[in-house]
């Protein structure tokens, strides 16, 4: 297959801490021994992100990135380095902190991906905050919710409620041990009706063998600077790209074939880095 066109803006997903104020039953990090780990040498991280060639978006996640003690200062420093800044957040922070993120990114706004965790958050309060932040944010905002079996029965009504407030609510299949749980046929049909994984129309998208720009115009990096091509690459400990902080980091020059049967990376799919059309 022919690779999609060169993506003009690259994207780095930075898991900047493992800290979180929630303990969701489906959290992929719940087996991490120390949920208090943080990116510490922030000036070196900022310098490394600033040195990336061309336009880049830095997508901050964790854990819960707003729990990093230097979160807003880091956002401001990345914005000063002319990086677009996006965030994946559980949206539990006070409204003033969420608005501070909008202010810090106003010159080059990114995406706020707000995760509704029904084990902790009350939907109407979450939605009210979402509407307030949306009115202030110059970029895009989208809500997501994990389709646990307990949530599945509520999601159709929740999507309608969010749509009535002018906001999209995307669903994400539940994973345990990083694999999608064993939904039965009825549950799978329900998931597809809800849009599938993040609106892709599929539950376990697969692009194995297709050229993908992940590794060249997309990468993921943890709080210690270890970088991988994408989340499945990190899971299998393959296709490491070195460490962002010690001089070993190197991106590929081109799109290369995907080596994974299940792609749970939203960014390459939604930014045209891999051909997602069904064959
Ligand atoms: S909010 Fe996110 S990081 Fe925190 S426990 Fe839930 S799934 Fe994990
Ligand atoms: S798993 Fe997804 S992001 Fe990773 S190489 Fe394959 S298509 Fe690209």
Q: What would the pLDDT profile of 23-55 be if each residue is shown by its tens digit?
A: 999 998 877 777 889 999 999 999 999 999 999
Q: Cα separation of 205 and 198, whole Å?
A: 11
State residue 179's pLDDT score: 86
State residue 103's pLDDT score: 98
Single pTM value for the model: 0.96
- Average pLDDT of 97-122? 98
CA of 277 to the centre of ligand 1 (A): 31
- Average pLDDT of 147-175? 96
The answer, yes or no, to whether any atom of ligand 2 lies below 6 A from the CB of 255, is no
**pLDDT tier for residue 158 given thresholds of 50, 70 and 90:** very high
Q: Cα separation of 77 and 207, whole Å?
A: 35
The answer, yes or no, to whether any atom of ligand 2 lies below 6 A from the CB of 214, is yes
State residue 29's pLDDT score: 80
Backbone angles phi, psi at 190, to 5 degrees: -65, -40
Question: Which one of 205, 233, 257 would you pick to mutate in the ligand 2 pocket, going by the greatest count of ligand atoms within 8 A of its CB?
Answer: 233
Supply the mean pLDDT for the chain.
Answer: 95
What is the separation, in whole angstroms, between the first and last Cα of the chain?
Answer: 11
pLDDT surpasses 80 at 97:
yes
pLDDT surpasses 90 at 120:
yes
Q: Cα separation of 50 and 46, whole Å?
A: 6
Q: Cα separation of 218 and 267, whole Å?
A: 8
Q: Tell me which residue has its CA closest to atom 7 in ligand 1.
A: 27
Buried b (16+ CB within 10 A) or exposed e, 75-90: bbbbbebebbbbbbbb
Residues 6+ away with beta carbon under 8 Å from 103? none
State residue 2's pLDDT score: 85
CA of 214 to the centre of ligand 2 (A): 6
The answer, yes or no, to whether any atom of ligand 2 lies below 6 A from the CB of 268, is yes
- What percentage of the chain has pLDDT greater than the value 90? 92
- Cβ atoms of residues 102 and 127 within 8 Å: no
- Cβ atoms of residues 85 and 110 within 8 Å: yes
Buried b (16+ CB within 10 A) or exposed e, 91-130: bbbeeeebbbbbebbeeebbbbbbbbbbeebebeebbebb
- Cβ atoms of residues 115 and 88 within 8 Å: yes
State residue 13's pLDDT score: 98
Buried b (16+ CB within 10 A) or exposed e, 143-157: bbbbbbeebbeebee
The answer, yes or no, to whether any atom of ligand 1 lies below 6 A from the CB of 117, is yes
**Which tokens hold the place of 147?**
């389709």
Q: Cα separation of 134 and 99, whole Å?
A: 9
């Amino acid at each position: 297959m022919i690779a999609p066109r060169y993506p003009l803006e690259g994207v780095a997903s930075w898991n900047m801490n493992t800290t979180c104020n929630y303990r969701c039953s489906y959290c992929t990090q719940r087996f991490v021994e120390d949920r208090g780990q943080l990116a510490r040498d922030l000036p070196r991280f900022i310098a490394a992100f600033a040195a990336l060639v061309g336009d880049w978006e830095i997508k901050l996640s964790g854990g819960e990135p707003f729990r990093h003690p230097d979160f807003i200062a880091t956002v401001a420093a990345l914005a000063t380095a002319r990086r677009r800044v996006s965030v994946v957040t559980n949206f539990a922070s006070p409204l003033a902190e969420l608005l501070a993120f909008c202010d810090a990114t106003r010159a080059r706004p990114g995406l706020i991906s707000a995760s509704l965790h029904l084990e902790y958050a009350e939907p109407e309060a979450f939605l009210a905050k979402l509407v307030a932040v949306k009115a202030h944010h110059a970029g895009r905002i989208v809500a997501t919710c994990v389709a646990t079996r307990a949530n599945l029965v509520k999601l159709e009504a929740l999507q309608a409620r969010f749509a009535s407030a002018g906001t999209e609510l995307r669903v994400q299949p539940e994973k345990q041990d990083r694999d999608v749980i064993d939904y039965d046929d009825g549950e799978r049909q329900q998931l597809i009706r809800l849009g599938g994984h993040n609106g892709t129309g599929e539950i376990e998208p697969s692009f194995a063998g297709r050229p993908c720009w992940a590794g060249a115009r997309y990468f993921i990096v943890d709080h210690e600077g270890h970088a991988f091509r994408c989340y499945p690459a990190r899971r299998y400990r393959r296709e490491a790209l070195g460490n962002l902080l010690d001089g070993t980091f190197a991106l590929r020059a081109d799109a290369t074939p995907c080596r994974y049967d299940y792609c749970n990376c939203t960014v390459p799919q939604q930014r045209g880095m891999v051909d997602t059309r069904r064959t």
